[in-house]
Chain A
Amino acid sequence: MISELAGQYTIKKESAISESFAIYDTFDWRLFNKSFVLYRSGNKLFLRKLAKSAILHTIEITSLPVFIWDFPDGKLKKHLLPIIKMRALLKLVEVLCRSTIYRILNREEKTVARLTYEEILPSRAKDVLALATHLWLKPVKGYPKHSQDLAKQFKEAGFIITKKEDIYFKALKVVDEKPGSYSGKLKIQLDPDMRSDDATKMILHFLLQIIRINEVNIEKDLDTEFLHDFRVAVRRTRSALGQIKNVFPMETTNRFKKDFAFVGELSNQLRDLDVYLLKEDTYKTMLPPVLQNDIDPLFEYLRQKRSKALQNVLNGLRSKKYVKILHDWEAFLNEPREYSKTAANANLPVIYLARKRIYMKYLRVVKAGNLILENTEDEMLHVLRIQCKKLRYLMEFFSSLFPRKKINILIEQLKKLQDNLGDFNDLCVQEEYLFNLTKQLPATHQQFKKTLVAIGSLIGTLDRERQTVKDSFAKIFTDFASPANRKLFRELFASKQ
């Protein structure tokens, strides 16, 4: 095509530019999900929007930042922080892009348009086949006639001049990565008329996949969220077994409930430590400046504990008991359904069971919450938190059965309440945890004495915050239990049988 054009225009070939670049994202595609592309080329890191070429932010780097706290302070960090949060950046792919620019000249030998021939290559080696090639036309400002004429000629020659398709997708195809392929969120499409036991197995199957995917990555210890997603999937599995009642034989349900309780406990300690270590910066800012460095030995101590805890978890995941639980579980989910007298709801259309379970749980949450309004006891807040979590899981398991907008409104409302209860619980647990730690730290050393003072100060701050959170409960709960929400809950879930 280019040689054909040479008859009419003077064409000047520029030297080809080869640029290797590597694309990064978190394991759960947080950047992709927000349509961002983060890539490194040379010693620079760039952020741009997907399908756009304008660079939003760029920084020079000496080594590649893995976590947000590895980034130098600045606009890029500010931009990425709310997106990637605590997740590690992983290199998705590294490819070479070789582009050759042909300048189309007019009689004055002035450039009036540019043609770019772009090849994506797997490596710098000679004679490698390009993975993808494309040609695109870039007009030069002020010469619209020429570009229009060129575009027309290309079209007539059967050449489709692609608008610059995002190289991102081409590069990922090279390594067979499908953007957005993993998410810790539940994406299950159920049919309202499905048998309840089949639907439940579908949900559990989905959760098992999440367990499996994350299980292998916990060992690599790239970031804390593999374990977190793993634990959430385990918790959801337990909740599904407990809350979607009478769909499997009683003895099966009881056995796996116990089994998954065991699986969950395996990593309690490690997750606790992860949470505290992630809070390192937050805790420091809570302290008066004179104490800020004194808290360091605490985190040093927690880090040491964490490496032991990680080893324990890995041992647990390799243990015969764990392997057998997961093996049996998988076998159960894959086996053809079993008819059992104990499973009264097994062949009920899932929509009925879903409505019933969600509505009952909702009523229970409202009842428990109303009792707390009369008399706010910490223990009752804890119970309510658990009830809310069960309700939330049920709504998420079955969300595909209900009008998306409406159920999302309710989930959003519930989330606000859960955040309040969750904050309260976290603060209680933290205070207690830190207090117990003071007994473990050897107080003989002068340095540790200062650390104890810092921990004391921290507990004080946490306690004040806890009171604030508690005080805001009444308003948040009343909002959740509002007539408007009640109406919507009734509309979606009140039994129509």
Chain B
Amino acid sequence: MATLALYSNKGGVGKTATAVNLSYLAAQAGAKTLICDLDPQSSATYYFRVKPKLKSRAKGFIKGGKHLYKSIKGTDYENLDLLPADFSLRNLDATFAKLRHSKQRLKKILKPFRDRYDLIILDCPVTISILAENILNAVDYTLVPLIPTTLSVRTYRQLLSFCEKNNYKTGKIYTFFSMVDRHKKMHHDLITSVLKEFDGVLQSYIPYLAQIERMGIYREPVVAFAPSSAASKSYQNLWDKVQETILSPVRRK
């Protein structure tokens, strides 16, 4: 059993596309997988053709347990379930803040699902507030997509220093390159410097490809509708790296 968050404190970096494709690949590999769409924009939910609605809305979400389990939908794929998003989740931050143990709420909500699934993947909204701390407390590992641009790298640095300041283990945070344009010299240079600067960088590049954007038209993971495309190969490669580096028993200290 493992939990993995697709998280970033910067928007538009490819979190949802990655979460959707990785969860599909995990399920195909035989792991009973749950993808939780925590983003009120509900893109992951949309990709899986599910209505973005939770039974008893955000209230039910915070309560967790049986109520929330009833909201889970089977997807089009064997072994893969989805916890849909709900627009009411937009106030999750404020709601958590009002409660006791406000930074451990999400962990508690997800706990009953840990026995039912081999892998839980969280597709997170952009945040670096109390919800972010909930996420960091709830999951075993965090995976941050990184666009090789100056701003993106700067945001990543911010995240790491935030974690250090607040005693979150940076050793459980991994990153990989997303939306890479190999023709751009800047991308190339930044990749080299990022590899030097940070630990936990997966040797995996998701290129910037139109095929990935077509997921919105097909409403399927790209790995499902175009399994032999370059996009699918890059996600497959990322999944292999995630398994080798993060989920396999030999772990980085």
Cα separation A78 to B219 with both chains bound (whole Å): 45
Q: Which of B59-94 contact A (CB under 8 A)?
A: 70-76, 81
* A143 in contact with B73 (CB, 8 Å): yes
CB contacts (< 8 Å) of B174 on chain A: these are none
Cα separation A142 to B75 with both chains bound (whole Å): 9
* B72 in contact with A110 (CB, 8 Å): no
Cα separation A111 to B75 with both chains bound (whole Å): 7
Known A-B contacts A103-B76, A141-B81; A110 and B49 likewise in contact (beta carbons under 8 Å): yes
CB contacts (< 8 Å) of B180 on chain A: these are none
CB contacts (< 8 Å) of A176 on chain B: these are none
CB contacts (< 8 Å) of A103 on chain B: these are 76
Does A488 sit within 8 A of B, measured CB to CB?
no
CB contacts (< 8 Å) of B70 on chain A: these are 142
Partner of A111, one of B51, B74, B81: B74
Partner of B72, one of A108, A109, A111, A142: A142
- B71 nearest in chain A by CB position: A142
* B49 in contact with A143 (CB, 8 Å): no
CB contacts (< 8 Å) of B71 on chain A: these are 142
Cα separation A109 to B219 with both chains bound (whole Å): 10
Cα separation A110 to B81 with both chains bound (whole Å): 13
- A112 nearest in chain B by CB position: B74
Does B239 sit within 8 A of A, measured CB to CB?
no
Partner of A141, one of B49, B51, B73, B219: B73
A108 to chain B, nearest CB (A): 5
Does A130 sit within 8 A of B, measured CB to CB?
no
A100 to chain B, nearest CB (A): 14
- B70 nearest in chain A by CB position: A142
Does B160 sit within 8 A of A, measured CB to CB?
no
- A144 nearest in chain B by CB position: B70
* A143 in contact with B76 (CB, 8 Å): no
CB contacts (< 8 Å) of A140 on chain B: these are 73-74
Does B48 sit within 8 A of A, measured CB to CB?
yes
Cα separation A143 to B71 with both chains bound (whole Å): 10
CB contacts (< 8 Å) of A143 on chain B: these are 73-74
A386 to chain B, nearest CB (A): 55
Max chain B C-beta neighbours (<10 A), residue from A103, A140, A143: A140
- B49 nearest in chain A by CB position: A110
A442 to chain B, nearest CB (A): 51
Does B190 sit within 8 A of A, measured CB to CB?
no
Does B132 sit within 8 A of A, measured CB to CB?
no
Does B153 sit within 8 A of A, measured CB to CB?
no
CB contacts (< 8 Å) of B73 on chain A: these are 140-143
A89-128 interface mask toward B, CB cutoff 8 Å, 1 = contact, 0 = none? Answer: 0000000000000010000111100000000000000000
Does B50 sit within 8 A of A, measured CB to CB?
yes
Number of A interface residues in the complex (CB < 8 A): 9
Q: Which of B39-56 contact A (CB under 8 A)?
A: 48-51
Cα separation A143 to B81 with both chains bound (whole Å): 12
CB contacts (< 8 Å) of B50 on chain A: these are 108, 110, 142
CB contacts (< 8 Å) of B51 on chain A: these are 108
B229-247 interface mask toward A, CB cutoff 8 Å, 1 = contact, 0 = none? Answer: 0000000000000000000
A496 to chain B, nearest CB (A): 58
CB contacts (< 8 Å) of A111 on chain B: these are 74-76
CB contacts (< 8 Å) of A109 on chain B: these are 49, 219
Q: Which of B156-172 contact A (CB under 8 A)?
A: none
Cα separation A111 to B82 with both chains bound (whole Å): 13
- A101 nearest in chain B by CB position: B78
CB contacts (< 8 Å) of B74 on chain A: these are 111, 140-143
Cα separation A103 to B51 with both chains bound (whole Å): 18
B181-218 interface mask toward A, CB cutoff 8 Å, 1 = contact, 0 = none? Answer: 00000000000000000000000000000000000000
CB contacts (< 8 Å) of B219 on chain A: these are 109
A47 to chain B, nearest CB (A): 16
Known A-B contacts A108-B49, A109-B49, A110-B49; A141 and B76 likewise in contact (beta carbons under 8 Å): no
B78-115 interface mask toward A, CB cutoff 8 Å, 1 = contact, 0 = none? Answer: 00010000000000000000000000000000000000
Q: Which of A256-275 contact B (CB under 8 A)?
A: none
Cα separation A103 to B76 with both chains bound (whole Å): 8
Cα separation A277 to B199 with both chains bound (whole Å): 56
Q: Which of A130-156 contact B (CB under 8 A)?
A: 140-143
B116 to chain A, nearest CB (A): 11
Cα separation A111 to B76 with both chains bound (whole Å): 5
Cα separation A110 to B71 with both chains bound (whole Å): 16
A60 to chain B, nearest CB (A): 13
CB contacts (< 8 Å) of A108 on chain B: these are 49-51
A385 to chain B, nearest CB (A): 51
Cα separation A110 to B49 with both chains bound (whole Å): 6
Cα separation A108 to B49 with both chains bound (whole Å): 6
CB contacts (< 8 Å) of A141 on chain B: these are 72-74, 81
Q: Which of A351-375 contact B (CB under 8 A)?
A: none
Cα separation A141 to B49 with both chains bound (whole Å): 14
B55 to chain A, nearest CB (A): 10
Cα separation A453 to B242 with both chains bound (whole Å): 55
Cα separation A103 to B78 with both chains bound (whole Å): 11
Cα separation A288 to B189 with both chains bound (whole Å): 63
B218 to chain A, nearest CB (A): 10
CB contacts (< 8 Å) of B76 on chain A: these are 103, 110-111
CB contacts (< 8 Å) of B81 on chain A: these are 141
Question: Which 10 A-B residue pairings sit nearest by Cβ, starting from the closest?
Answer: A142-B73, A140-B74, A110-B49, A141-B74, A111-B76, A108-B49, A142-B74, A141-B81, A142-B72, A141-B72
Q: A108-B50, A140-B73, A142-B70 are in contact. List 15 more A-B contacts (CB 8 A).
A: A103-B76, A108-B49, A108-B51, A109-B49, A110-B50, A110-B76, A111-B74, A111-B76, A141-B72, A141-B74, A141-B81, A142-B50, A142-B72, A142-B74, A143-B73
Interface residues of chain A, those whose CB is within 8 Å of chain B, are 103, 108-111, 140-143
Interface residues of chain B, those whose CB is within 8 Å of chain A, are 48-51, 70-76, 81, 219
**Would you give 27 A-B contacts (Cβ < 8 Å), ordered by A?**
A103-B76, A108-B49, A108-B50, A108-B51, A109-B49, A109-B219, A110-B48, A110-B49, A110-B50, A110-B76, A111-B74, A111-B75, A111-B76, A140-B73, A140-B74, A141-B72, A141-B73, A141-B74, A141-B81, A142-B50, A142-B70, A142-B71, A142-B72, A142-B73, A142-B74, A143-B73, A143-B74
